[in-house]
Structure 1
Amino acid sequence: MKKGLFLFTLLIVAGISSCKDQPKQTTEAVSEKNEVVANSALVPEKWISSRVAKAKNRLQGSEAGSVIWNAMEAHGGLSKWFSNGALAFRFNYQPLDGKTARDSYQIVDVWRNRAVHTSVSDSTAKFGWNGKTAWVKAKDSTAFAYDTKFWALTPIYLFAHPFVLDGEGVNLELLPQAKYKEKTNDVVKVTFDAGTGDAPDDYYILHFDVDTHLITAIRYIVSYPEYFKDGGHNPEKFMEVGELVNIEGILLPTGLKTHWTVENGQPGDYITKIDVSDLHFIKTLENDFYDVPEGAKILE
């Protein structure tokens, strides 16, 4: 999302900012610049109505976009997504080869693509993205043994499809339908305009059940320049979407199983287990909640 800051701001995101194992997306900037919103968790309903109307008009203008819009509706609706408040959850990313795990509680501003992560093992260790700046605050460098700038928004871009695709800078292509687990799926490829987030060369290929419009699988690559300094990307991965649960009217998965993609776009070797738990929306946050805290290290 940026796409990760994946897309960190990718959906001011001007952010998929660099946090992402996936691209980030850019979200529309708020037009009511002069209005003061004291609560970081909620935004005025009129802002939401305007943004949702624009997204609907844009998405329904193409076959691929209509698939995404129908999926948004099936998962609870874009209006509900933005109205519920900040999304809180634990995201436990566990590579099966023993490589670095990434396990944190996080609170994400789904409207402006901002995030604060807290270590599961040390509540004083935190990192985040405030829409412009990535930061980390921890007693020592071992608290987060991974690229926290890249990871700040990556989890939301991995498991919160299709809602993270409402912004501009997102290109959608309808691919031929495919069979997955013996059911027909609509398939949409997502790419990003140059300059969208930190990894605009990322792509997603999203599978949706043709009857229910619910997401079933996600294929994606990571092209984050800090990982691939000479260009290129990792091999395509295939994520099975786990059980969908209803969180205040929004359907989200409680887990993902990542594989390497093999022939015909199917899952191969199982490589990463992802558990998503403690899912809930927060209605009230202080206006400075996403600000860089005193004593934090700024990440370039």
Structure 2
Amino acid sequence: MKKFLQLLIIAITISACKNDPKSPISPSEKNDSTTIMDTDKKEIITTSIYPESISKVFEAHGGIDQWHKMNSLSFTMEKPNGKEVTTTNLKTRAELINTPTYTQGFDGKTLWVKEKDNIDYQGKPKFYKGLMMYFYAMPFIVGDDGINYKETEPLVFEDKTYPGILISFEAGIGESPNDTYVIYYDSETRRMEWLAYTVTYGKEQESQDYRFIRYNNWQTVNGLLIPKSIDWYEHDNKIPTEKRNTVEFTDVILSETILEQSQFLRPEDAKEID
């Protein structure tokens, strides 16, 4: 009888171990989406797919989940030749940049430029495609797939220290996967304060020539804290020095509305960019 009771206790213990739910995986242990279901309570918990540092920055700006609900973004910048309006499908990254002298478009596959009033377009369409949208959509845009995060040396500016998160890309991601970014944030508010970035123009070698943008003028649109303006700074030895110029954003629309794909398609009289 005593032996039977011992065997019964062992069997119950093994059964309990088999039915014991696994503990949630922390962001530091796993870098992809993990869903855990409690079958008794019928609750679903999705763990964060981001490291804690960048997750808190996202939260300070309204949350990455809220950002993922958005499907379209539009904003206007005042340029020397007039207003430049950028419209983007946030899911496909189709884009339309409309100016008084040209329109540049990308339908997800084809990049094109349509000149107006016989004025030759002198820009670099491949370089400019998605550029201002990328700067504008910080910090959420670095929540894309294929991005790596690493804590890096802080930035010290005017006696204040800003912790840094180094952003790099996996091979084959984007037009310039060797570009790197560093987000510097306020340690108290967790809001993004600076962006340092390199430009490789698609070249294989990495660059250490960091340029700096300051983000300290925010507005709330659809529950998200996004830039009202950003400041480019001069720099010396990887440190920002003095403000060079300010870019303001007006007529901002950040919406769950899905834009018609037809507006991004190349017109017959537009030049396709190889």
TM-score if structure 2 supplies the norm length? Answer: 0.73
What is the total number of aligned residue pairs between the two structures? 230
Alignment partner of 1:277 is 2:243: no
Q: Tell me, in whole angstroms, the C-alpha distance in 2 between the residues paired with 1:112 and 1:77.
A: 21
Q: Tell me, in whole angstroms, the C-alpha distance in 2 between the residues paired with 1:299 and 1:162.
A: 29
Residue 231 of structure 1 deviates from its aligned partner by 5.2
Q: How does 1:18-57 map to 2 (within 5 A)?
A: 57=48
Instruction: Choose which of 266, 273, 277 in structure 1 pairs with 2:239.
Output: 266
Q: Tell me, in whole angstroms, the C-alpha distance in 2 between the residues paired with 1:210 and 1:221.
A: 24
Does the 8 A contact of 2:86 with 2:133 survive in 1? no
Q: What's the counterpart of residue 96 of structure 2?
A: 116
Aligned AA (2:84): S
**Cα deviation digits, residues 195-237 of structure 1 (max 9, x gap):** 2111111111110111211110111111014xx6x95658321
Q: Tell me, in whole angstroms, the C-alpha distance in 2 between the residues paired with 1:102 and 1:154.
A: 19
Does the 8 A contact of 2:184 with 2:194 survive in 1? yes
Q: Secondary structure at the match of 2:249?
A: strand
Instruction: Choose which of 79, 82, 95 in structure 1 pairs with 2:68.
Output: 82
Q: Tell me, in whole angstroms, the C-alpha distance in 2 between the residues paired with 1:269 and 1:103.
A: 26
Q: Tell me, in whole angstroms, the C-alpha distance in 2 between the residues paired with 1:269 and 1:217.
A: 13
**Identity within the alignment, %:** 23
Alignment partner of 1:298 is 2:272: yes
Q: Tell me, in whole angstroms, the C-alpha distance in 2 between the residues paired with 1:175 and 1:232.
A: 17
Residue 118 of structure 1 deviates from its aligned partner by 0.6
Q: What's the counterpart of residue 138 of structure 2?
A: 161
Q: Tell me, in whole angstroms, the C-alpha distance in 1 between the residues paired with 2:246 and 2:177.
A: 26
Residue 106 of structure 1 deviates from its aligned partner by 0.9
Alignment partner of 1:210 is 2:183: no
Q: Tell me, in whole angstroms, the C-alpha distance in 1 between the residues paired with 2:149 and 2:60.
A: 19
Residue 269 of structure 1 deviates from its aligned partner by 4.6
In proportion to residue count, which structure has more strand? Answer: 2
Q: What's the counterpart of residue 28 of structure 2?
A: none
Q: Tell me, in whole angstroms, the C-alpha distance in 2 between the residues paired with 1:106 and 1:274.
A: 14
Q: Tell me, in whole angstroms, the C-alpha distance in 1 between the residues paired with 2:258 and 2:178.
A: 36
Does the 8 A contact of 1:223 with 1:234 survive in 2? no
Q: Tell me, in whole angstroms, the C-alpha distance in 2 between the residues paired with 1:81 and 1:296.
A: 33
Please provide the CA RMSD for this pair.
Answer: 2.9
Q: How does 1:81-230 map to 2 (within 5 A)?
A: 81-92=67-78, 104-119=84-99, 121-122=100-101, 125-139=102-116, 142=119, 144-225=121-202
Where in structure 1 do 4 or more consecutive aligned residues deviate above 6 Å?
Answer: none
Q: What's the counterpart of residue 71 of structure 1?
A: 57
Q: Tell me, in whole angstroms, the C-alpha distance in 1 between the residues paired with 2:91 and 2:148.
A: 20
- Residues 57, 268 of structure 1: CA spacing in aligned structure 2 closer, same or farther, 3 A cutoff? same
Instruction: Choose which of 241, 249, 273 in structure 1 pairs with 2:215.
Output: 241
Aligned AA (1:77): G
Which blocks of at least 5 consecutive residues in structure 1 are unaligned? Answer: 1-52, 60-64, 95-100
Does the 8 A contact of 1:91 with 1:155 survive in 2? no
Residue 84 of structure 1 deviates from its aligned partner by 3.4
Q: Secondary structure at the match of 1:243?
A: strand
Aligned AA (1:286): E
Q: Tell me, in whole angstroms, the C-alpha distance in 2 between the residues paired with 1:236 and 1:218.
A: 9
Does the 8 A contact of 1:260 with 1:268 survive in 2? yes
Residue 284 of structure 1 deviates from its aligned partner by 5.1
Greater CA radius of gyration, 1 or 2? 2
Which blocks of at least 5 consecutive residues in structure 2 are unaligned? Answer: 1-45
Aligned AA (2:215): V
Q: Tell me, in whole angstroms, the C-alpha distance in 2 between the residues paired with 1:269 and 1:136.
A: 35
Q: Tell me, in whole angstroms, the C-alpha distance in 1 between the residues paired with 2:83 and 2:126.
A: 15
Q: Secondary structure at the match of 2:48?
A: helix
Aligned AA (1:275): E
Q: Secondary structure at the match of 1:157?
A: helix
Q: Tell me, in whole angstroms, the C-alpha distance in 1 between the residues paired with 2:79 and 2:236.
A: 22
Q: Secondary structure at the match of 1:90?
A: strand
- Residues 233, 266 of structure 1: CA spacing in aligned structure 2 closer, same or farther, 3 A cutoff? closer
Q: Tell me, in whole angstroms, the C-alpha distance in 2 between the residues paired with 1:183 and 1:103.
A: 36
| Deviating more after overlay: 173-182 vs 246-255 | 173-182
Greater relative CO (CA pairs within 8 A, separation 6+): 1
